[in-house]
Each structure stands twice: as C-alpha cells, then as structure tokens.
Amino acid sequence: MSKKFYLHEDRMPKSYYNILADLPVPLPPVLHPGTRQPVGPADLEPLFPMDLIMQEVSTERYIEIPERVREAYRIFRPSPLIRATGLEKALGTPAKIYYKYEGVSPTGSHKPNTAIPQAYYNALAGVKKLTTETGAGQWGSALSFAGAMFGLEVDVFMVRVSYEQKPYRKAMIETFGGSVTPSPSTRTKAGRKILAEDPDSPGSLGIAISEAVEAAVQSPDTKYSLGSVLNHVLMHQTIIGNEALLQFDDAGDYPEIVIGCTGGGSNFAGFIFPFLGERLRGGRSVRVIAVEPAACPSLTKGVYAYDFGDTVQLTPLVKMHTLGSSFIPPAIHSGGLRYHGMAPIVSHLKELNLLEARAEQQLDCFAAGVQFSRTEGIIPAPEATHAIKAAIDEALVCKETGESKVIAFNLCGHGYFDMQSYMNYFAGKIDNMDYPEELINKALVDIPAV
C-alpha cells in the first residue's frame, strides 16, 4: 500500500471553503470598540483592502482562488498527505494515522497559505506596505516572502523574547526583504505605553498587534495584515483540508477523528473545516479535536466574551474564548500558540459543541514530537507536537479497544528553526508550566462589559 498521497497540481482545489455558509447558528457580529455597535465594511477600510473585508463578512460557501495566487501556491502545493506507518508500528496500534504536512512551504509552515492571498489582494488595491506582528517569526517570514512575490514592503513587529531567542527567523524575514522591529518598541504610542509600565517587557502577540495596527493607520498607502484569528485568514487556510478531502479519496479512506493545534486557530480551522462542513451538510460524521498549550488555555479555560484582539485595545471587539487582552502568556517554546484569544469561528464551534478541546503540557508534547521524528523522519515545530500528542493518545485508546479508527492531524510546520527548543528539552531545561491562574484572573478583569 502506498504511504504518501500527492495530488497533481492540476487537481489543486480552485476555491476556499467558507464554513459560515454551513453554520447552524450565525456568528455573533464584530463590534466597534467605541460605539459597541456592529462594524460595517467601511469601518475596517483603514486596516484591510476591500476584497479581504468582503471575504471576512462573506457567507458564500466557496470563494474562488485567483489564478495569480494559485500560481504562487504551486511553489509548494499541493502538500502531501502521509500515512504514519512508522508511528503506528511503534505504538502497536490498530488505528490508521495520517498527517497533512504543511512544512513543505517556503517558510516551513502553513502561514504562506494566507500570506500569499493577503499580499495579492493588497497589491491589487495599490497598497505599498504591510505592517504585521509575529510571535515565533513564522508569520513574519511568511508575509515577507509573500510581500517579495507581490512587490510589497513588509514591516514586522516581532515579540521581543522571540527576537532575542530566534535570530534565524529574523534573518529569514530580512532575506525575503522585510524589516524587523522588536516589540514593544519606541516607534509607536502603544509600544511606548507598555515600555513605560515595564521597561523589560518580553512582549506578546497582543502588544505587537497594537503596534502594527497603529503603524498601519498612520499612512494611507499602508495596511495591516493578521496571520490568524480572522474569518478570511481561516478561510484561506482551508486549501489544506480541501486538498486532504481529495487525498483521502485517493487513499480510499476517510478520517473519523481530525486533530489540529490551536494558537489563533488558523491551521486547525484550515485542516478541519472542510471535513466538518461535510458533516454539517449531512455527510459523514467526524470527531474534531483542538489541542492547545496548558500555559495558554484560551479554549479550555478562557471565558467566551467580547474582547479586544490586542493589548492596547485598538482593535474591534470580537466574541471569542479569551484569557483577557492584557494577559501575557508564559514564554513557552510553542511561540505560535501564545495568544490570549481564539478565532471567533473556532470559539463559536466550541460553544455549539461541534469540537472538543484539550490542553497539553509542553514536556508531554516534546516527548510526542521526538517519538514522531524517530518514526516518521520529520522534526515537528513545537506547536505541531500538540496535535501529535493528541493523535498518539487517540491511537493508544484504539490499542486498548482494538478499534482500527482512522485518525488524521495537521502537521502544521517543521521544527528546523526550533532546534534550540529541542536542545533545551534534551538538556532537561524544559519544564511544564502550571496554569497561570493569578495572571489570567488579573487579565480577565479588563474584559470590557458588553
């Protein structure tokens, strides 16, 4: 039996999937931070080009992928769907484990799937420069790459701890032509405010978003770009699951359990929404599992409330699972999962009991990642090890029950720029983090009353 399922590029999906078309209950509206009334497309225009705003609010089921974007995707798409036979054997499980491998992209994760169309639509609208934030550097490098393809300048605010810990990601952003500022910085009012309160602030995604938003609204030919959370970002990522549906068809299988790790929710959504969509339209049933870090557990321990997407409270209010916009997550090694909130659509699905969420400790996740690398030959990004941990656990349940279930997870990125984390793991320098209850309770006080 073949182990890898490739799609010929001619069979690469021609459209994104928009789960808003199939939701049993509509998504709560986005609110203006001042008036607390639902925002209209015009309110978002200082930040995003109109094509992306229309995608953000669209309820069309399928949205066509422009030919220029498909052409750019062909550098690395379709990505392979791989049967993890080595891992299955090592676990002694009757379950079949598959993973969709997004590490084949130019920057090593799923992020270019949305960076490319975002750069394309901005360039089409005559935008010259994009500002953005980056945590571990994955998003900053993806947007810099996409900016280079479409002739846009890219100005990246990088969370200070990552800036210091991940010099290779910074070098990558600069190689693609982007520029990098450690955040908090003195370039913006938001950054200066944070630094005045804490000159040694390690930074956070929430702070970097405040800075990037402020920098974008200051100049007319500059817009802002976000790498996760928003509806249109999740929708661009559905190229992953749309491909996987075709590949499962080729494999003659269909997953009964689909799994993804969640930071802001985009790779998870991109992989699982096309499967969940089939279920919502009366197709085959599938169990959906979202896995987050125990140190930043927005889905499992956050409150479901209207909150800001950034720390300095410049963004619109969205209803989501949140730990509070002033919460600065502990400096765990999965930098991409350190975000206080969760995508509104993913949060909504959790409320509708259409997905299960669990939180995992980083030591257990690294152990799962090491086992995966030794059996499958790919060293996973620390973020991706959360999905691997859950896939292994489900496969071990099958071992006990004797069921040969089909389990699929998204391997959202490789870990070849994260080897310092693996070195720390092997040196015994990685600890589990307790749930930072006190910090979260403090941050929850700042959630606005809506």
Ligand X SMILES: *Cc1c(COP(=O)(O)O)cnc(C)c1O
Tokens of residue 257, six digits: 């359990």
CB of residue 382 to ligand X, shortest distance in Å: 8
- Count of residues near ligand X by CB under 6 A: 20
CB of residue 144 to ligand X, shortest distance in Å: 14
Which positions from 71 through 130 interact with ligand X, judged by CB under 6 A? 109, 111
Three-point CA angle 201, 265, 177, nearest 5°: 60
Rule CB under 6 A: is residue 223 a binding residue for ligand X?
no
Bridge partners, 410 (sequence order) = 100
Distance CA 410, CA 98 (A): 9
Q: CB nearer to ligand X: give 150 or 268.
A: 268
Query: Given the rule CB under 6 A, which of 80-88, 259-267, 274-282, 353-361 is the region that contacts ligand X?
Result: 259-267
Rounded-to-5 percentages of helix, strand, coil across the chain: 45, 20, 40
Give residues with Cβ within 8 angstroms of 18, minimum separation 6: 58, 59, 60, 61, 62, 63, 231, 235, 238
Rule CB under 6 A: is residue 138 a binding residue for ligand X?
yes
- Are the C-beta atoms of residues 429 and 447 closer than 8 Å to each other? no
CB of residue 34 to ligand X, shortest distance in Å: 28
Q: CB nearer to ligand X: give 251 or 295.
A: 295
Tokens of residue 144, six digits: 């810099």
Nearest Cα to Cα of residue 183 among 254, 259, 131: 131
Tokens of residue 173, six digits: 């952003």
Q: CB nearer to ligand X: give 212 or 412.
A: 412
Which positions from 363 through 392 interact with ligand X, judged by CB under 6 A? 381, 383-384
Q: CB nearer to ligand X: give 91 or 143.
A: 143
Query: Given the rule CB under 6 A, which of 38-46, 191-199, 263-271, 358-366 is the region that contacts ligand X?
Result: 263-271
Per-position x/- string for 225-254, each x denoting binding to ligand X as judged by CB under 6 A, each - no binding: ---x--------------------------
Helix 112-124 / helix 50-57 crossing angle, nearest 10 deg: 130
Q: Indicate the length of the chain as a whole number.
A: 450
Question: Of 47, 63, 337, 398, which lies in the binding site for ligand X, with binding defined by CB under 6 A?
Answer: 337
Identify the residue whose tokens are 């999962």.
337
Distance CA 278, CA 319 (A): 25
Query: Given the rule CB under 6 A, which of 191-199, 247-255, 266-274, 298-306 is the region that contacts ligand X?
Result: 266-274
Residue 368: CA count within 13 A, CB half-sphere: 23
Query: Given the rule CB under 6 A, which of 65-73, 165-173, 190-198, 260-268 is the region that contacts ligand X?
Result: 260-268
Cis peptide before 220 (omega within 30 of 0): no
Residue 199: CA count within 13 A, CB half-sphere: 0
Question: Of 13, 178, 263, 302, which lies in the binding site for ligand X, with binding defined by CB under 6 A?
Answer: 263
Q: CB nearer to ligand X: give 293 or 324.
A: 293
Nearest Cα to Cα of residue 425 among 360, 369, 359, 358: 369
Query: Given the rule CB under 6 A, which of 44-52, 73-81, 264-272, 432-440 is the region that contacts ligand X?
Result: 264-272
Question: Of 49, 117, 203, 265, which lies in the binding site for ligand X, with binding defined by CB under 6 A?
Answer: 265
Q: CB nearer to ligand X: give 88 or 360.
A: 360
CB of residue 104 to ligand X, shortest distance in Å: 13
Q: CB nearer to ligand X: give 109 or 371.
A: 109
Distance CA 35, CA 369 (A): 46
Footprint of ligand X (CB under 6 A): 109, 111, 138-139, 228, 261-268, 336-337, 381, 383-384, 412-413
